[in-house]
Amino acid sequence: MNLAHGVPEREDEPEFLLCWKQQNCGSCLKRSRCSWCPFTQSCVFNKYGIQPLAPAYDENICPHWAERWEIRTHPLGCQVSTITSLTSLVSVASTLAVLLIIVLLVVGVRRCRKARWKGAASRKIRSWHVSWTPTWSWSSRNKATSSTADAEPLLDA
């Protein structure tokens, strides 16, 4: 233990002390490798490349265990914690995934219905041709019925 500073000796001592002496979030986040722990009001050294994900790699990133996901980092600023940003990202991603699933279901149902109607129509036509073949032509039937049907009124007056 380093008794001069009252903190344990660390391998990253210069960086740790550079961050530790910052007293507010704004000045803490001006340093490139520092992050702010809001409950203990302390500035800590953050050695990870993706700073908002530091709590996933190091559970002791902040002095108090409960604030590790509440850490404020340089890219997010003092008003946004890691848990808030991760929650919003997961919400947006899950909403987009649900919308994609709904669109795929609608497209799939439409294709199935379209295929079913085409299949049913072709089966009816084929079975009609096989089971019943007319002995007279359409043109002769239409000529015979059209002249008498057209002469009579549709409604009796």
Count up the domains in the chain and report the number: 1
Structural domain harbouring 11: 1-116
CB-CB contact of 17 with 5 (8 Å): yes
Residue 19 lies in a domain: yes
Residue 111 lies in a domain: yes
Residue 157 lies in a domain: no
CB-CB contact of 33 with 19 (8 Å): yes
pLDDT by residue for the chain (157 residues), tens only, comes to 444 445 555 566 777 788 888 889 999 999 888 999 999 999 999 888 888 888 888 888 888 888 888 999 888 889 999 899 999 999 999 999 999 999 999 999 998 888 777 665 555 555 545 555 555 555 555 555 555 656 677 777 6
Instruction: Please tell me the predicted confidence (pLDDT) of residue 14.
Output: 78
Instruction: Please tell me the predicted confidence (pLDDT) of residue 24.
Output: 92
Residue 142 lies in a domain: no
Q: Whole-model pTM above 0.75?
A: no
Instruction: Please tell me the predicted confidence (pLDDT) of residue 106.
Output: 94
Residue 59 lies in a domain: yes
Instruction: Please tell me the predicted confidence (pLDDT) of residue 36.
Output: 93
d(CA 68, CA 44): 11
Instruction: Please tell me the predicted confidence (pLDDT) of residue 8.
Output: 52
**Residue 145, CA atoms < 13 Å, CB-side half-sphere:** 6
- Which amino acid does the sequence have at 117? W
CB-CB contact of 65 with 59 (8 Å): yes
